[in-house]
A and B are shown apart, each in its own frame.
Chain A
């Protein structure tokens, strides 16, 4: 039998992605040192310049301390007790789906993304599946290549498009940025690379499914998206991880570069294992996501639906350098049981007439705790800036917590910055009203929650929005009664 369900607590757990794939993996010994980094680089056949970057980041990381300013409480991570490289063992890199290990394909099927089917359905979504550290299959590559679009794993990009990688990798999130980003810069395993050439509209949604499989393997994705002048792309990221007792570390970096008149939409649905109802297990998600609008009229929007992970530390940000560029952040974060999330965004206005919009919806249930932390910063030379922020919190029950921490650093008098925040609770009266009309309690909660986050969900591509709504319902199970 290939997959044995690893149920930790049969009583209360409904995490349907909690299976482990039994495949032979190449896994580095536990621990972090220069040799391990050299091993990663060598395994991946990387050029010297990249190894040097990794080593430089590692040197710097050793001087850093783990941040503690977030409103998060978790066991100390022993960075020497993790393995930093795990790859499914395969002959050579697969050239087509037929060469991909059938067990891997089966895994994706369980996740609801059958790659074969995707191929048949041609033209809807291109999937770059990241299985632990190696990208195993990239579909639709040929079709995209016709338009000059590059969509591949970052490892391949390093080999095939070194000039692009060298120019942009680390240009948005330098290794010195923060503790987790620095760690990622030293040990990043794989991830997706996207380049949309000048004047090109990507004809399909690009999508990556991340999945953490190997035990005790930290997952360090690295994604780089470059939208050249007058181009457009919509990128979807979905994540699941098998159910495990130990906490798993995930410290990814996503960098987006948006040039003149280009637009990037980045959507995430994150449902990594949140731990059981007592807070045992679950993924630690420490992610640095940032987009740089470098050109004039550049546009970027982050849409995220976060229902998973035991601990989330994540602030997708926009650096608005080009004049008239704009950044948007739409977020739904749902925490239940003992989950903790400290999430929000940063809008850094540097160019003139730059605009930003933040819509954040936090839903807390059970004994969970959530913080919205957002920064709006306006540089002295940035005239005509506008920002609108709206942060709403919805509480379910009396044992959860929700906090809103907006920071505003305005150095230009012409800026117009608006901030609105509300906190509400699903009341007994509302539940009774729904039930009196025949609507069951859980359905009522889901109806109210979906109404609450509608404004964000409508920014997701259709199929993704449906999946996200289902996920929210699953995550809410057991939150009432």
Chain B
């Protein structure tokens, strides 16, 4: 089978607040692949996701990132998003006063505009949100509330998943998508994510625990420690890690 690379990270070095966190990180994700990155707390997993999305304050000092062959590092955060990079955040922020539906509509239309598609009108948009929302147990009332304001941990994660389902990104990065979720909520979120697996969309699933990977089964598992990948394998590596912990990789230093 012919593999088309979607994301190519080469020897990436990045720092935040003058502290080097990512040190020589390389990874290629082809279209349709699901990669899991596992690592101990503080390894730099969230930092990696922010660097991929261009969050201000995260400085790349060396290396390259290509997305569909384009230099991702020269793009603004919004350009990356429009190109199809989506970050399902570990701690989604609250935006008081802005109804979730309004926010979503702006996002959808910004991305459609980028791809030269006509804007969705309110009716079309609401229809789409209702359909996708239903699958995730998100009702019409919830999307009237301001973005993430007063949402429970589970609601926040479901809203992140809803956005992913609506924006249909080529690459979804999930940062600790299971944190703060009970098993039922976890299943709902995982189902939403799995629904996007169509053989072309790719995912980078970042997690500390193996649990999530029972529901979102990865094609590849990478162990991330000391700022880069120290070991790669298939889904069985995750089970191995669950048993033995990260000690062996951290001590390696």
Residues of chain A touching chain B, judged by Cβ–Cβ distance below 8 Å, are: 424, 427-430, 432-441, 443, 447-448, 450-454
Contact B111 A430 (CB under 8 A): no
Question: Can you pick out 26 interface pairs between chain A and chain B where the beta carbons lie within 8 Å of each other?
Answer: A424-B96, A427-B93, A428-B56, A428-B57, A429-B93, A430-B93, A432-B53, A433-B92, A434-B95, A434-B103, A435-B77, A435-B78, A437-B81, A437-B103, A437-B110, A437-B163, A438-B111, A438-B114, A440-B78, A447-B98, A447-B103, A448-B98, A451-B98, A451-B99, A452-B96, A452-B97
Cβ 8 A contact of A432, one of B77, B82, B94: B77
Query: Nearest chain-B residue to A454 (Cβ)?
Result: B97
Q: How many interface contacts (CB-CB < 8 Å) are there between A and B? A: 78
Given contacts A436-B87, A448-B98, A451-B99, 12 further A-B pairs with CB under 8 A are: A432-B55, A432-B93, A434-B95, A434-B106, A435-B78, A436-B86, A437-B81, A437-B107, A438-B82, A451-B98, A452-B96, A452-B97
Say yes or no: B89 contacts A433, CB within 8 Å.
yes
B153 within 8 A of A: no
Q: Which of A429, A432, A437, A453 has the most CB of B within 10 A?
A: A437
Minimum CB–CB distance for A305 against chain B, Å: 16
Q: Are B97 and A451 in contact (CB under 8 A)?
A: yes
Interface of A is mostly: helix
Known A-B contacts A435-B78, A439-B78, A443-B110; A451 and B92 likewise in contact (beta carbons under 8 Å): no
Contact with A along B97-109 (1 / 0, CB 8 A): 1110011001100
CB proximity of B57 to chain A, nearest CB, Å: 8
A380 to B90, CA, bound (A): 56
* Distance between Cα atoms of A89 and B94 in the complex (Å): 57
Q: Are B78 and A451 in contact (CB under 8 A)?
A: no
Residues of B within 8 A of A440 (CB): 78, 110
Inter-chain contacts of A437 with B (CB < 8 A)? 81, 103, 106-107, 110, 163, 167
Q: Which residue of A lies closest to B104 (CB)?
A: A437
> Which B residues lie at the A interface, using CB under 8 A?
53, 55-57, 76-78, 81-82, 86-87, 89, 92-99, 102-103, 106-107, 110-111, 114, 146, 163, 167
Contact, CB under 8 Å: A451 / B107: no
CA distance A427 to B53 in the complex (A): 17
Q: List chain B residues, Cβ under 8 A from A453.
A: 97
Across-interface contacts of B55 in A (CB, < 8 A):
432, 436
Distance of A448 Cα from B110 Cα, bound (Å): 16
- Closest-by-CB residue of B relative to A455 is B97
Let me know if A436 and B53 touch, CB within 8 A: yes
**Closest residue to A428 on the B side, CB-wise?**
B56
Residue on B nearest A446 in the bound complex, by CB: B106
Would you give the shortest CB distance from A278 to chain B, in whole angstroms? 27
Q: How far is the CB of A375 from chain B (nearest CB, A)?
A: 27
Q: Would you give the shortest CB distance from B79 to chain A, in whole angstroms?
A: 9
Which residues of the partner chain B approach A436 to less than 8 Å between Cβ atoms?
Answer: 53, 55, 77-78, 81, 86-87, 89
Q: Closest Cβ of chain B: how far from A397's Cβ, in Å?
A: 14
Q: Closest 4 interchain pairs by CB?
A: A451-B97, A451-B98, A437-B107, A435-B77
- Contact assessment for B93 and A438 in the assembled complex, using a CB-CB cutoff below 8 Å: no
Nearest residue, chain A, Cβ from B88: A436
Residue of chain A at shortest CB distance from B83: A438
Q: Is the CB of B167 within 8 A of A451?
A: no
B110 touches which of A427, A428, A439 (Cβ 8 Å): A439
Shortest Cβ distance from residue A91 to the other chain B in the assembled complex, whole angstroms: 51
A433→B93 contact, CB < 8 A: yes
In the bound complex, residues from chain B placing their C-beta under 8 Å from that of A450 are 97-98
In the bound assembly, the distance between CA atoms of A427 and B96 in angstroms comes to 12
